[in-house]
Structures are given as C-alpha cells and as structure tokens.
Chain A
Amino acid sequence: SQTIHQWPATLVQPVGSPLSLECTVEGTSNPNLYWYRQAAGRGLQLLFYSVGIGQISSEVPQNLSASRPQDRQFILSSKKLLLSDSGFYLCAWSGRGTNYGYTFGSGTRLTVV
C-alpha cells in the first residue's frame, strides 16, 4: 500500500535561518507531488507541485523553493526564513490518470521566531 511520510512534525526556527522539510512516498512510482501551506485562519494554499524528477511548478512567489531529487522525494526549502513563513505545511501525492485521489502527509508545524 502507498504511504506518505513527512518530517519533522514540529519545528521552531529563528528568523533568517534556513529550512528543509522532507516528504517521501512509498508504494507507488512517478507520483505527482505537492506542497501546501496552511497559515493561521485555516486556508490551504498550494505552493509547489511536481510531475517528475527535477520538474517543479510554483504557484505563489515567495521565500520558499522546492526540489525533487528522486522520484518519490519532495523537499521544501528556504535560505532565510521570515516570520510570515510560519504555518502548517502539508505534503501530498496523487496518482496519474483519471481515477486519482490526493493523499496528504501528517504535516509540519513551523513556527518562525
């Protein structure tokens, strides 16, 4: 069965520090991968998505970047965190074709102080 792992679960980082959040998927190949952010107020915003290794599409200009070094690995990064980067970050994957769904990881709660 397919599983998605996301870590760390919580993170407190000072302003200006770097960030690296990792997400991996098991039990499937060539998934579509996504990073979402949920800021205070609950809305979920799509940040990045990837349809293959090295292929990243950005939805929102921001202080963050994403990379996909391997088929089932998706990394969210920042060189210098801002206070506004605080939030709940969720990784998700979906399959290909018309009969797909979206499965989310357990999330990372990031607090920038």
Chain B
Amino acid sequence: AQKVTQAQTEISVVEKEDVTLDCVYETRDTTYYLFWYKQPPSGELVFLIRRNSFDEQNEISGRYSWNFQKSTSSFNFTITASQVVDSAVYFCALSEEKSGGGADGLTFGKGTHLIIQP
C-alpha cells in the first residue's frame, strides 16, 4: 500500500528565511507520480508540481524548488526567501500508475502548516 509521510506538522519562520518541507513516500510500484499542493486559508488546493518516478531532476520555479531522491524515497520542497503570502498548508501526494491512468486517486500526507511571520 502506498503511504506519504510529512513529519513536520507546523513550521514557523521569519520572512525572507529559507524553509524546507519534508516528504517521504512508500510505494511498491516502479512507476508513480509525486505532487505538491498548496492550501491557503480559503481552502482550495493549488497545484504546485508533479514529478514522475523516472525523472529525478531537481526542479526550480522562481523561489520554489523540489529535490526528488529515489534512494531515500523523498520529495522535499524548499521555499527560498519566504514571504508572508507563502503561509498555507502544504500537501505532498502520491499516485501510482494504473492502466487508463490515475483512477485510484491521490494518497496525501497529513500536510505541513507553514507560517511565515513578517
């Protein structure tokens, strides 16, 4: 069975600090997809990134970067020079490859509540 662990329940940093959110996953499949979503106080889930299991290249998008390491089953997310608007709950999620694609849905971690203090 697949599982996603976000050990950090809550992180609080001062604005402009860098912060890393950890994500560790478990799966028996060799083909799978990893995701990060942001959930602001309004509640909607905002898609940030999707990474497939064959692509271990790190990705950078502005102040956001992701470090995917299959050897440690981790997919960590770093925000550089954090801003107050980054305050939200962040979810890491896993989906396994199925015939026809995606039918079984996402398995989410419990989320990390990130608080950026001004």
| Chain A residues close to B by CB (< 8 Å) | 32, 34, 36, 41-44, 46, 49, 51, 57, 59, 88, 90, 92, 94-98, 100-107, 109
A92, B93: Cα distance in complex, Å: 14
B105→A101 contact, CB < 8 A: no
Question: Are A102 and B43 also in contact (CB < 8 A) when A32-B103, A42-B89 are?
Answer: no
B110→A96 contact, CB < 8 A: no
A51→B103 contact, CB < 8 A: yes
A41, B108: Cα distance in complex, Å: 13
B62 close to A (CB within 8 Å): no
A106→B102 contact, CB < 8 A: no
Q: Could you say which of A51, A95, A103 has the most chain B C-beta atoms within 10 Å of its C-beta?
A: A51
| Chain B residues close to A by CB (< 8 Å) | 35, 37, 42-45, 47, 50, 52, 89, 91, 93, 95, 97, 100-108, 110-111, 113
Q: Secondary structure of the A side of the interface?
A: strand
A17, B40: Cα distance in complex, Å: 30
A105, B101: Cα distance in complex, Å: 20
B43→A106 contact, CB < 8 A: yes
CB closest chain-B residue, reference A93: B102
Question: Are A43 and B106 also in contact (CB < 8 A) when A98-B101, A103-B47, A109-B43 are?
Answer: no
B45→A100 contact, CB < 8 A: no
CB closest chain-B residue, reference A102: B106
* Chain A residues with CB below 8 A from B43, complex form: 88, 106-107, 109
CB closest chain-B residue, reference A50: B103
A46→B50 contact, CB < 8 A: no
Question: Are A32 and B101 also in contact (CB < 8 A) when A44-B108, A101-B50 are?
Answer: yes
B101→A94 contact, CB < 8 A: yes
* Chain A residues with CB below 8 A from B95, complex form: 102
